[in-house]
Amino acid sequence: MEKHIVTVGELRRQLESYPDDHEIGFSGGLTLGRVKSRGPDLVNIEFAEVQADLDDEFRAEYPGILVVFLKPED
């Protein structure tokens, strides 16, 4: 699956016009899980929801579905 990467600088530029007390929402009801360093120059923004594994048969039948998130267990 193709990764969509944005630099920290680009994200900051997109957010710079908003005050610090503004809230950020995520489409589809996703919730922020954590921000974690994954290498010397890579940061992951992770959601609290779990990404489901899609098998090849499902992907072939539903090519427009790229990812499915599952609600985390309470």
pLDDT digits (tens, 9 = 90+) for 3-19: 678 999 999 999 999 99
On whether the CB atoms of residues 53 and 31 are closer than 8 A, the answer is no
pTM: 0.65
Q: What is the widest separation between alpha-carbon atoms in the chain? A: 46
The whole-number pLDDT of residue 24 equals: 92
Read off the pLDDT band of 71 (50, 70, 90).
confident
Q: Of all helices (H) and strands (E), which one includes residue 35?
A: strand 32-39
